[in-house]
């Protein structure tokens, strides 16, 4: 009998002034698609163990720090105004770059793409971000990077990037489809009563 696969670790990264739905949306998607925790172990991680203040003053206590979190199989990098500061935080970008080779999927939401760009992970890829931040992304990606402005999300294999806010939920459902099949993704969307846009 084939041994059951352990649940994939899904690390949702948090930082000051993160957009709430950018992290909470994918968190809920992977939770809803986890088959009651059997397929995804979803947790939050931040640079340190201090409470993180998201946009609007929402305070979140990260479950782990980048120094002690379980090894991620899937890493979610959300966006928000704070991404403009954190993209220049070497501690964060070095950590992302350092673990990137061992990760199955990296999903950026909205301006999380800016952080991935500064981590030097977008060379030669197709990328997207929030429509209002396309110009910011264009300023920092290599010439070999193709910006796809109209896409809800783009898949480069390991690295998947989505447009703004709710597009991150669509992309997270796409990741579930990619890893566990369309039926599981549809089931997760149904649990959330979410109208999944697959384009």
Which two tokens mark 154? 């783009």
pLDDT tens per residue, range 132-187: 999 999 999 999 999 999 899 999 999 999 998 899 999 999 999 999 999 999 99
With beta carbons less than 8 A apart as the criterion, state whether 10 and 74 touch. yes
pLDDT tens per residue, range 21-38: 999 999 999 999 999 999
Q: Is CATH 3.40.50.300 the classification given to domain 8-109+165-192?
A: no
What residue segments make up the domains of the chain, in order of their start?
8-109+165-192
The pLDDT confidence band at residue 198, using thresholds 50, 70 and 90, is: confident
pLDDT tens per residue, range 80-127: 999 999 999 999 999 999 999 999 999 999 999 999 999 999 999 999
Q: How far apart are CA 198 and CA 129, in angstroms?
A: 16
Does the structure show a pLDDT above 70 at 1? Answer: no
The pLDDT confidence band at residue 2, using thresholds 50, 70 and 90, is: very low
Query: Helix crossing, 20-32 with 166-180: angle to 10°?
Result: 30
pLDDT of residue 192: 96
Phi, psi values for residue 71, rounded to 5°: -60, 120
Does the structure show a pLDDT above 70 at 3? Answer: no
Which two tokens mark 161? 């990037």
With beta carbons less than 8 A apart as the criterion, state whether 174 and 160 touch. yes
How far apart, in Å, do the first and last CA atoms of the chain sit?
38
Q: Which of 89, 62, 90, 88 is nearest to 76 (CA)?
A: 62
Sign of the torsion formed by the C-alpha atoms of 185, 188, 189 and 194: negative
């Amino acid at each position: 009998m084939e041994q059951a696969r352990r649940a994939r670790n899904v690390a949702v990264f948090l930082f000051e002034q993160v957009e709430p739905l950018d992290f909470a949306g994918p968190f809920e998607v992977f939770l809803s698609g986890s088959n009651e925790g059997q397929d995804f172990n979803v947790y939050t991680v931040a640079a340190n163990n201090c409470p993180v203040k998201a946009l609007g003053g929402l305070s979140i206590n990260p479950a782990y720090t980048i120094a002690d979190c379980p090894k991620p199989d899937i890493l979610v990098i959300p966006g928000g105004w704070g991404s403009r500061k954190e993209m220049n935080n070497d501690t964060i970008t070095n950590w992302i770059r350092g673990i990137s080779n061992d990760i199955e999927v990296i999903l950026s939401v909205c301006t999380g793409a800016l952080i991935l760009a500064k981590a030097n992970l977008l060379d030669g890829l197709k990328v997207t971000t929030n429509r209002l931040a396309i110009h910011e992304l264009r300023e920092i990606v290599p010439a070999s990077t193709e910006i796809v402005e109209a896409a809800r999300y783009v898949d480069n294999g390991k690295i998947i990037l989505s447009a703004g806010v709710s597009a991150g939920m669509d992309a997270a459902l796409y990741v579930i489809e990619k890893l566990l099949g369309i039926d599981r993704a549809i089931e997760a969307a149904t649990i959330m009563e979410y109208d999944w846009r697959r384009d």
